[in-house]
Structure 1
């Protein structure tokens, strides 16, 4: 079987035919690496409801649908993964990870597709990407007992610290209530308030600056099907919300997305205690995995018992956007090569921040 797509069309989501939708669902259901809710058609449909720049590249092999690539169609000629800065995982929706599609995009004067979180198992993403990094996973497929026994053996100190936090919480007194699938919209309001305050305090880009991002979260919160659902988890102390998390789940995966907590309670690490409770009750919701995404975060390494490789990269045609990206990468490489100490990292950090900001604004 040839691994080359022979034709491509770019469609709005609402123009996908029932036949194409059936193929999309079939690809997701057949491929374990596509179990993340990011890859489900319903997530792309949710994005289409809040952003008019949502598109899908449909690839065919001799007239038969062979793969789908959803993305956000920037006015600048830079195309980003579906969800923009809110998307941790991205890739081709196909039953053939070796499918070659990049040249078809280039022939369409596509501009530049930037991906950050592309599946390293897919040939064209791998060959156009930078070195892979781990995306962390909590895997409960062998049961809670096996998971926690494994964490105790591998991360004894982290488990002791977790128990110490719990004792500190107990010492405060009061009633602690966890809800793993909380239906209250006012709890989601408070979570977003905590999260935006956290962005402001740390100087991180506020992904909720755009109305579309807030609307997406509320739409997903209300979305309930067997393929995709929003999931709000909360922790209260004496009736006050002290930690919360909002994520999305598919049949097999809960994606860990937006956690936040009351900073006044930081000494007891309520976010970490809620995270532990989410793991304990995860399989009651249906999924057997929690995807934590990439990043050099201590809790991800300590609590993960599995991972898969993702990467960032670009698929570019000759265009103004690709030339601008090449210039930016050149400045970054030059700065990194000079003996400037910490200053050498500034261009890369500024470039990433600018890309996130433009992605939030859909530029």
Structure 2
């Protein structure tokens, strides 16, 4: 095995084509966060992004995108934003994870959404479900599944959609638009949601705003930013920005106007998005790891992602363990306990309300 480290902008057309071919050869890698376009776009905005090109003899057999932080701490590209992480590798390639991170000048590589089939995986890594909407049989069979398994949610959502149209006006769904206006409306809703729920506002970081705008402008058959918005009588009600490959759409930034909250606009939007996605050839909508009520109501399947780290026996890895692992285990314990989870979520929302009042 030979490993060559490059900046994303140094990848040539042949290397990008090889990356894409490896990705499309294995369904485990069918996720836009693992696409070369995503890493190249993030790399244009962040100096810490690298790509390890893995070769055997004259052949490139894999790509490992990552961020290298001080003290040799490795993280996924756009860590904290991505719902799929890991290598894109040819089948049957044997790889020593610790040798790989040594070649990348890393003491440790940590992850929280590592996809299945990775040589980085080990039995001690925690596994978590990542809910999906499976549209491989089409939208009709999916709604039939909802009727049988989540009938109350499906019927209530349709009823609220009709009421929204009676009260406000006709619904219009704009799918796969590249207009920046609706995107900025959506990001404004998302910022309000972060503040309301006590979370950190990701869009307070200008590079993330620019990343989303650049991804929206990236449109090809194999990779694209997908923005869709639902309107009632011309007024934006709910929307979503995500990324797609040829057959998979990842849920990333869904949001809605809270003025319409009583109509469940998020659920209305997701059903409309699923219908248009299926028409566009999308077979899977990956809603991402995390326990959210709307995901439980809409999912008809799930993938598995892992959280953990690969570390070498060096001092920096030991310091990283002290600083990160106990915190991560505590967070996992809170999320796994319904009572603790509800208590923490309530505390965050209370903090969000107080912060909004003080900032106002």
TM score, norm. by length of structure 1: 0.85
The whole-number CA distance in structure 2 between the counterparts of 1:170 and 1:127 is 51
Change (3 A) 1:307 1:71: same
Structure 2 counterpart of 1:353 = none
Structure 2 counterpart of 1:27 = 22
Pairwise CA distance, 1:169: 1.4
Checking the alignment, whether the CA contact within 8 Å between 2:28 and 2:116 is kept in structure 1 is no
Structure 2 counterpart of 1:360 = none
The whole-number CA distance in structure 1 between the counterparts of 2:189 and 2:90 is 40
Tell me the secondary structure at the aligned position of residue 86 of structure 2. Answer: coil
1:313-337 CA distance string (max 9 Å, x none):
1111244542233214347769979
The whole-number CA distance in structure 2 between the counterparts of 1:305 and 1:240 is 31
Pairwise CA distance, 1:17: 3.8
1:226-262 CA distance string (max 9 Å, x none):
1111111101122221211111111111111101111
Structure 1 counterpart of 2:179 = 184
Tell me the secondary structure at the aligned position of residue 221 of structure 2. Answer: coil
Structure 2 counterpart of 1:112 = 108
1:57-79 CA distance string (max 9 Å, x none):
12223453221110122235322
1:55-114 CA distance string (max 9 Å, x none):
111222345322111012223532211121111101210122763241223434412211
Checking the alignment, whether the CA contact within 8 Å between 1:129 and 1:314 is kept in structure 2 is no
Change (3 A) 1:172 1:114: same
Change (3 A) 1:192 1:154: same
Q: Which of residues 48, 60, 74 in structure 2 aligns to 1:79?
A: 74
Checking the alignment, whether the CA contact within 8 Å between 1:128 and 1:313 is kept in structure 2 is no
The whole-number CA distance in structure 1 between the counterparts of 2:241 and 2:219 is 14
Unaligned runs of 5+ in 1: 1-5, 351-363
Change (3 A) 1:209 1:97: farther
Tell me the secondary structure at the aligned position of residue 209 of structure 2. Answer: helix
Q: Which of residues 207, 221, 226 in structure 2 aligns to 1:226?
A: 221
Q: Which of residues 278, 282, 293 in structure 2 aligns to 1:283?
A: 278
Between 311-320 and 253-262, report the one with greater CA deviation.
311-320
Task: Indicate yes or no: 2:54 matched with 1:59.
Answer: yes
The whole-number CA distance in structure 2 between the counterparts of 1:163 and 1:97 is 47
Q: Which of residues 30, 43, 47 in structure 2 aligns to 1:48?
A: 43
Structure 1 counterpart of 2:356 = none
Checking the alignment, whether the CA contact within 8 Å between 1:8 and 1:104 is kept in structure 2 is no
Structure 1 counterpart of 2:269 = 274
Task: Indicate yes or no: 2:196 matched with 1:201.
Answer: yes
CA RMSD of aligned residues (A): 2.6
The whole-number CA distance in structure 2 between the counterparts of 1:62 and 1:316 is 27
1:257-289 CA distance string (max 9 Å, x none):
101111111111112111110011112323222
Checking the alignment, whether the CA contact within 8 Å between 1:128 and 1:315 is kept in structure 2 is no
Pairwise CA distance, 1:306: 2.0
Between 197-206 and 15-24, report the one with greater CA deviation.
15-24
The whole-number CA distance in structure 2 between the counterparts of 1:134 and 1:27 is 25
Q: How many residues align?
A: 338
The whole-number CA distance in structure 1 between the counterparts of 2:266 and 2:340 is 31
The whole-number CA distance in structure 1 between the counterparts of 2:135 and 2:212 is 26
